Amino acid sequence: MIHSKNTKRKAALFCLDSMLDTNLPSWRQDLKSSRKKEGRSPSNRWIQLATVSEDNEPRLRTVVFRGWYKDSSMIIFTDRRSEKIGHFKSNPNAEILWFFLKTKSQYRFKGKINELIDNKNYWDTLSEKSKSSWFWGSPGERINPKVQSSYEIKFNLPKSENFVVLNFEIDSVDLLKLEHPIHRRYLWEKIKKWEKIEINP
């Protein structure tokens, strides 16, 4: 009897999950499937974030995808002292690239960056080791050998003022899949209610 109750609950949860999924932009389903096929390696969450510098030059770096904010915004953690902060303040336009080897799929997300001020919950998700890095020296500055000892793991750290949660709000998604015999390419735009259209690769 217990077994059948559990089975029913599982079926109901599965149903709810599918219903929630159907409300998401359809590119979220494609991305979910690419991530699933890629496996559970930490590198599955490494994405490339491009910003525009104050002097209008492109800047690119790897960051960790920390999850979704609403249906079509990505969360990224960073350090207030890093250069990208000045970039998005002078120009919020940014692009994220997420590549999946197993499915040979390249996702290019165009969007805008802003900072989430209410970030305490996100800080609480970090390990002590990760938290410590927000108390190290300024990223990009020359190492001062006299303060080397501060590069250690501390415990029960309060939220650092340098801890920043970025919210990358997606405006469009461009997916290129290298397939045989022909490659496929799709475009979704928020302004077009995320309608999926196929375009030339």
Ligand X SMILES: Cc1cc2nc3c(=O)[nH]c(=O)nc-3n(C[C@H](O)[C@H](O)[C@H](O)COP(=O)(O)O)c2cc1C
- Pick 35 or 84: Cβ nearer ligand X: 84
- Pick 84 or 131: Cβ nearer ligand X: 84
Stretch binding ligand X (CB under 6 A), from 25-33, 75-83, 104-112, 122-130: 75-83
CB 153, min distance to ligand X, A: 18
Long-range contacts of 150-156, Cβ-Cβ distance < 8 Å, separation of 24 or more: 153/128, 153/129, 154/128, 155/128, 156/128
Q: Structure tokens of 75?
A: 């969360």
CA dihedral in degrees (69, 75, 80, 83; nearest 10)? -130
Report how many residues bind ligand X under the rule CB under 6 A. Answer: 15
> Alpha helices, DSSP H only, in 74-119?
83-90
CB 66, min distance to ligand X, A: 7
- Nearest CA to 188 out of 50, 79, 30, 59 is that of 30
Task: Tell me: does residue 77 bind ligand X (CB under 6 A).
Answer: yes
- Pick 6 or 114: Cβ nearer ligand X: 114
CB 195, min distance to ligand X, A: 31
Task: Tell me: does residue 113 bind ligand X (CB under 6 A).
Answer: no
- Pick 46 or 68: Cβ nearer ligand X: 46
Which residues 127-186 are close enough to bind ligand X by CB under 6 A? Answer: 139-140
Stretch binding ligand X (CB under 6 A), from 24-32, 80-88, 129-137, 192-200: 80-88
Sign for the pseudo-dihedral over CA of 32, 36, 40, 43: negative
Computed on alpha carbons and rounded to an integer, the radius of gyration of the chain in Å comes to: 20
3-state helix, strand, coil in the chain (%, to 5): 35, 35, 35
Which residues 31-70 are close enough to bind ligand X by CB under 6 A? Answer: 46, 59, 61-64
CB 117, min distance to ligand X, A: 17
Sign for the pseudo-dihedral over CA of 87, 60, 113, 75: negative
Residues that bind ligand X (CB under 6 A): 46, 59, 61-64, 76-79, 82-84, 139-140
